[in-house]
Amino acid sequence: MSYGDLLHNVIEVRGLTYRYHGGIEALCGLDLDVRAGSRLALIGANGAGKSTLLLHLNGTIQPESGTIRFGGELADYSREGRRSWRQQVGLVLQNPDDQLFAPTVEEDVSFGPLNLGLTDEDVLDRVRETLHLLKIEELARRQPWTLSHGQKRLVAIAGVVAMRPRILILDEPLSGLDWSGSRQLIRLLKGLEETGITIVMATHDIEFAASWASEIAIIERGRLLCQDEATEILTNPDLLARADLPIPLSVEVWMRLRRQRVICSQERLPILRDELLERLEQSLFRGRPEHG
């Protein structure tokens, strides 16, 4: 049984085509499967069509041709259909300033739940729960324009998570973050995964994809080059070379440790950085005589 057989598709994209004004072709018959509970990384060069694809996945853009199925049903582009769609598929844009507009963080995060018709009490509960989940309660009364880039990104994510979507889509979420901000975001994603949410992320950081993704789709010039389990793609040098992508250093180390049987041959990526370093240390010192 293949990896794809283990999870059912929540979004199916077939033959998606889209052109921007001026005839610029962004998507050219693209296919994609988003499986429930997966951590799907979309990788590709700038201009490959990743952001355009994400805008299709939550109904912001309607394709010229091709189909999108959500939960097995054809996408409904009516006003009510798109509203329902976006409640279940939340999109976080690359630039958080494009999503933050309210006077305070608390008001910004409450905007989505208020539009769901919830009571004021229920909205307040959702805002508090979401800020706690993202560990940014202290930002509740802050003005968004006074926040750091990393804080703005977390608030933008909070505004989407407060809608309680089934699928969370993020466009280059590590862009502009320092090491500390990236670590905080990674911890956040782990917490969200534990709630059962499906996460789709466009990223150019293949090292991050290697440590986080369960599945990878490589997008090239508006088409799907390949989609498979992360291990199958990241350990295929010929495929990565064809896509002009490097083998992540962490994967090279992982492959060497597996050849030396420090890592079980059945053990799959991703493997956490700290665990990888521990295994590497075991390999380096294996067989060395003890000094007394």
Q: Within 10 Å of residue 72's Cβ, how many Cβ atoms? A: 9
Distance (Å, whole) CA 173 – CA 287 = 43
Q: Quote the DSSP letter at residue 165.
A: -
Whole-number pLDDT of residue 196: 84
Whether 250 contacts 276, CB under 8 Å: yes
Burial, 32: exposed, middle or buried (Cβ in 10 Å; 0-12, 13-18, 19+)? buried
Written as six digits, the tokens of 283 are 């390999």
Query: For residue 34, what pLDDT is reported?
Result: 95
C-alpha distances in angstroms, 289 versus 64, 151, 262, 284, 285? Answer: 67, 50, 18, 12, 9
User: Model pTM?
Assistant: 0.86
CB of 221 within 8 A of CB of 28?
yes
Burial category of 98 from C-beta neighbours within 10 Å (exposed 0-12, middle 13-18, buried 19 and up): exposed
Report the candidate in 235, 164, 160 with the shortest Cα–Cα distance to residue 195. Answer: 164
Q: Which residues of the chain have pLDDT under 50?
A: 1-6, 288-292
Tokens 């992508």 -> residue: 245
Q: Distance between CA atoms of 78 and 288, rounded to whole angstroms?
A: 68
pLDDT at residue 292 in the model? 42
User: In whole angstroms, how far apart are CA 224 and each of 24, 27, 55, 84?
Assistant: 18, 9, 16, 27
List pLDDT tens digits, range 148-174.
998 999 999 999 999 999 999 999 988
Q: Which two tokens stand for residue 59?
A: 């109904």
